[in-house]
Structure 1
């Protein structure tokens, strides 16, 4: 199978719908994540205190989409019909059959929930089975143990640490931890994720 670059699409599960991110999602997203210092602690932006500040974050992401560097999704709860987070594909290459999942943030109300697990299941299924990717990557701050543990639970493998890799909003430097999953590892990971969702 020849890999394909991701293009705007809506992915729907039992708990969430991933749809192309737009400015119209801003009010819901601000209600879900605005001003939450703990949620934004390891992200590359300070916690937005107003809709305008969060709007600037979304505009930055949408500019990356327009430039072809990113495909951004709003994560919409099917129960409430409201956007509860954002997730993205980055650094994709059809030639090298790879992409990165990142730029992700969710309302703390859905951390370790079916919404989060199903979002990853939808993204990984689309990447491996529909786009034909052979490698999916994640990167996170070396101090963000919650994120690292969540990535490991997906079945991804730690591959290394980039030292002094990114400047944080407070001016300090982070080391970046990288994980990846390969196409041949996906069936077992998919089974675990599916079973976890079925168990509630």
Structure 2
């Protein structure tokens, strides 16, 4: 079972997402542009966010850790992220369901958050593979994932049904444990 844990760098703190983060998270997630490539905008109202938190974000502590992303300098919630789809047998998981408010995009937030998640996944959980997935057309997200050093694997055609009934093609990336030392060194030089 995954134990809730806080992860910290000099600029970002990842805290287990709780009810106390929801008001700030909802305000950070108000911009509709944040949800263009995401199937469900769970920040569109306090009621939807509360339902998402209780029904989705907490669905299985054996398979996921959900975090609020906090900017250390201001102590503000800047978004959320998670390690999920943990496969204990094959020692792999996915990092994603990340959103970062517009005020913090293209800042230190994503680099620090992903560094903390990757370090925890490889060095504490002992995983050998981390996946990242995003909409094929979400070039901003694809660039951010590639910038981390993740290996682009493929486009998975029609692998996710969207709320409107259409299907999305998904770009899949990975980082493995043998890639981690070089990626870690590069990320630490940016922190």
Cα distance between partner residues in 1 of 2:95 and 2:46: 25
CA deviation profile, 1:66-98 (whole Å, cap 9, x unmatched): 5x3321111111122122111111111232111
- How many residue pairs are counted as aligned between the two chains? 191
Cα distance between partner residues in 2 of 1:183 and 1:89: 16
- Pick one of 1, 5, 19 that aligns with 1:9: 5
Unaligned runs of 5+ in 1: none
Q: Is the 8 A contact 1:18 1:74 kept in 2?
A: yes
Give runs of aligned pairs for residues 85-164 of structure 1, distance below 5 A: 85-164=79-158
Cα distance between partner residues in 1 of 2:10 and 2:68: 16
Unaligned runs of 5+ in 2: none
Provide the aligned C-alpha RMSD in A: 1.6
Cα distance between partner residues in 1 of 2:106 and 2:60: 28
Offset of 1:7 from its aligned partner? Answer: 2.3
After superposing on structure 2, the runs of 4+ consecutive aligned residues of structure 1 that deviate more than 4 Å are none
Offset of 1:169 from its aligned partner? Answer: 3.2
TM-score, normalisation: structure 2: 0.93
Offset of 1:59 from its aligned partner? Answer: 2.4
Is it true that 1:81 corresponds to 2:91 in the alignment? Answer: no
